[in-house]
Structure 1
């Protein structure tokens, strides 16, 4: 069974984090590589720059969030290599997806977690 956590990169690392994966395309401001305590930076799995900028120029309503989630799902469907890398790490050990967005409820890392868990549930 998958064990995937989601956490802001600005939160202190914990032994419970397992394998720490940064899933942002851009390195987070004010965080050194040592402080980040990363095991992997999987920037290719992050939303495209265009999608990220589109979301940041919106007031996040339920409708806008649904559109973002669908567009990001579409991007993930076309990004098999990065998704496979993430799934292989999930199969090996508990992981924590790290992101830098301020909004803890509306961020791509949570969408990514849900996407990976849904794919796992559909496997035979």
Structure 2
């Protein structure tokens, strides 16, 4: 499968292809020499407002369905970047989307939603 997802701290081999960090913030205290990604696209992460709304910071958390819907809306502004990743996959490259080490529930993580958006942007 040319689009993969995993946590940035998980062991990766050369089959990971282009490793794209899609977190809003760079992992704290990690020296540059220990980075596990090739490129960081913070704009592919949920906005701080959406993140806070989902985790209920200061208010009742939004539902998972509302989170997904709002994330997809936010990513409309990133169509060019999503299309460029889809083009890489179309050329046969593997793209691995990396997220926080704290993000252990793949079905809730935006990296899974993003993988779906990249897949949808691929040429038939």
The interval holding the TM-score normalised by the smaller chain is: 0.7 to 0.9
RMSD: 2.3
Distance (Å, rounded) in 1 between the aligned partners of 2:41 and 2:63: 25
- CA gap of 1:30–1:104, structure 2 versus 1, over 3 A, is farther
Number of aligned residue pairs: 119
- CA deviations on 1:87-114 (whole Å, 9 max, x unpaired) are 2333341010000042323111011001
Structure 1 counterpart of 2:114: 112
Q: Is the 8 A contact 1:13 1:36 kept in 2?
A: no
Alpha-carbon shift at residue 65 of structure 1 (Å): 1.2
> For residue 104 of structure 2, what is the aligned residue in structure 1?
103
Q: Following the alignment from structure 2 to structure 1, what is the Cα–Cα distance between the partners of residues 89 and 48?
A: 25
Confirm or deny: 8 A CA contact 2:89 2:95 kept in the other structure.
yes
1:43 aligns with 2:45: no
What displacement does 1:30 show? 4.2
Q: Structure 1: give runs of 5+ residues left out of the alignment.
A: none
Farther off after superposition, 66-75 or 27-36: 27-36
Gaps of 5+ in 2: none
Which protein has the bigger helix share?
Answer: 1
1:32 aligned residue = 31
TM-score, with normalisation over the residues of structure 2?
0.80
TM (norm. structure 1) is 0.80
The superposition leaves residues 57-86 of structure 1 with CA deviations (integer Å, 9 ceiling, x where unpaired) of: 2788xx811111111111112222322332
Task: Name the CA distance, whole Å, in 1 between partners of 2:89 and 2:35.
Answer: 19
